[in-house]
Amino acid sequence: MAHPSTRVVSRALLVGAFTLAIYYIAAVLRGPQVEAISWNPVHAVVLTVLGLAAGAAWGTRAGLERWRTLEVLLVANLALVFGLLFLGWTVIWDAAKILEAVLPGLRDLAYGFWFIAAILGAYIVRKPGAALAAETLAALAEFLAGSQWGFTLLLSGLVQGGMAELVFALTGYRRYDLPTLMAAGAAAGLGSLVVDYLFWYSDKSLGVLAIMLVARLLSGAVLAGWLGKTIGDALERAGALDAFAIARDEPPTPQA
């Protein structure tokens, strides 16, 4: 059977290519006269990223079935804690609105904390599906706690977790160093903007969207990647994670 990382990457690419192809057929080959859809490069990126995240989620299903009960409980508890912290982070997000007066889109430098569950969950457990499960469950916890963003959180959690998951899969689930964690945080940032574009930001100019994207990539790398590693290392040094892969500082060998 295929290696878990191969399965995740191949299905991500398959679904990403499929969504882009469907859009191209509708918008270009058939055209706006038939489908009432015009080609838009931003929409092409949005649909491709959604497809990549969905495919990555599809590819992790088999891996999740092989988790130990202790790992399931850890990720569930992490998700609950960070779901509540995500809700509280709204205060920081509101305060960061002042940055919009400096440069529209700069506020998104505060966005990256909302991806940290994906990074910390993967860093501790080091198994296929950890990033996706942690981020999606944290989004669910935030939703159930009464977040103002409602059901859109569930899609955000899935796409952010799926994009982070894809980065770990590309390393074969064998690299959990700082550059990899920061890359996963940045990938989650790309996924977050795609979802937000669908619901809130489709009227923004390309310039503002570009600033938002750069801000989220940086924020995801630092507030999720670097901070997630810092928290994980502190917990490991305290002896709280002796039963997990992080304590051995090596990834487990994924089963096919």
Q: Which of 45-59, 67-81, 101-115, 242-256 has the lowest mean pLDDT?
A: 242-256
Residue 13 lies inside a defined structural domain of this protein: no
Q: Which amino acid is at 182?
A: M
As a whole number of angstroms, the distance between CA 113 and CA 13 comes to 27
CATH of the domain at 91: 1.10.1760
* pTM of the complete model: 0.91
On the question of pLDDT at 256 being above 70, the answer is no
Amino acid at 101: A
In a domain? residue 63: no
Compute the distance between CA of residue 176 and CA of residue 179 in angstroms, rounded to an integer: 8
The reported pLDDT for the residue numbered 1 is 55
Range of the domain at 229: 68-248
For the stretch 115-136, pLDDT in tens is 999 999 999 999 999 999 999 9
In a domain, 230, yes or no: yes
**Average pLDDT over the chain, rounded to an integer:** 91
Q: What is the model's pLDDT at position 55?
A: 93
> Which residue reads 């894809």 in tokens?
166
| Euclidean distance between CA atoms 195 and 160, whole angstroms | 9
Task: Give me the number of domains the chain comprises.
Answer: 1
For 138-170, the pLDDT digits (tens) are 999 999 988 888 888 999 999 999 999 999 999
**How many CA atoms lie within 13 Å of 190's alpha carbon, on the beta-carbon side?**
21
In a domain, 222, yes or no: yes
Q: Rounded to 5 degrees, what angle do the CA atoms 83, 86, 92 make?
A: 165
Question: Strand, helix or coil at 115?
Answer: helix
62 pLDDT tier (thresholds 50, 70, 90) = confident
pLDDT tens, position by position, 216-233 = 999 999 999 999 999 999
Query: What pLDDT, on the 0 to 100 scale, is given for residue 2?
Result: 66
pLDDT band at 29 (very low <50, low <70, confident <90, very high): confident
Q: Residue 207 falls within a domain, yes or no?
A: yes
Amino acid letter for position 203: D
Q: Is residue 76 part of a domain?
A: yes
In a domain, 30, yes or no: no
pLDDT at 210 over 70: yes
Considering the domain boundaries, does residue 42 fall inside one? no
